[in-house]
Structure 1
């Protein structure tokens, strides 16, 4: 088992289930997306460039997807906080994942990389 596998398996429920579901959702968006461990957290890269990551909000204790190039998006469900480049999408552990919103923002982010706005 890898350190990356350990990361997912060592999470407590319901966060473990949310992270595993998000991992599947992210990886199925494009065959060029890979999952690696960077900075102690699961990062997803598109053609080797950091694309998004999973983490838990320190204050709110909620899982989230961090969109590396989030500054390019104005969706109201993305939160910038004090980040200059990244925005996050928080998830409530007591609710179903908003699959359509997740897939929409991931596809928009992928399109940035594919269009050359983000150099791969």
Structure 2
């Protein structure tokens, strides 16, 4: 039987499913200390037990995004603020090649913030 976390990815059609699964792999490969969990009814990623980011679909743009928990502390022009005080998102075009270098650059910043958070 599949977990709710596995079912999250499988419920979407291509190319959304493939994009979300690729994003999951990029995030998990960034550090061996990143784990995937099912929290708040969405795929959440933790670094050393601290919340790092999550995956979701943007209601307006119908594209996947990575929500960075402490995005307000990350200075990157590619991140959108929207109506959240703490979280910034990286919107991903599911029909384009993934911006792997950009994702890894932002993940590195997010991990640094996580490491230095009290």
In 1: Cα distance, 2:90 partner to 2:100 partner: 12
In 2: Cα distance, 1:2 partner to 1:52 partner: 20
Q: 5 Å matches for 1:1-120?
A: 1-114=2-115, 116=116, 118-119=117-118
1:65 partner SS: strand
TM-score, normalising length: structure 2: 0.95
Give CA-to-partner distance per residue, 1:96-115, whole Å, 9 cap, x none. 0101000000011101122x
Aligned length: 117
In 2: Cα distance, 1:104 partner to 1:84 partner: 22
What is the Cα deviation at residue 47 of structure 1?
1.4
1:5 partner SS: helix
What is the Cα deviation at residue 59 of structure 1?
1.1
> Structure 1 stretches (4+) deviating beyond 6 angstroms?
none
User: Any unmatched runs of 5+ in structure 1?
Assistant: none
2:67 partner SS: strand
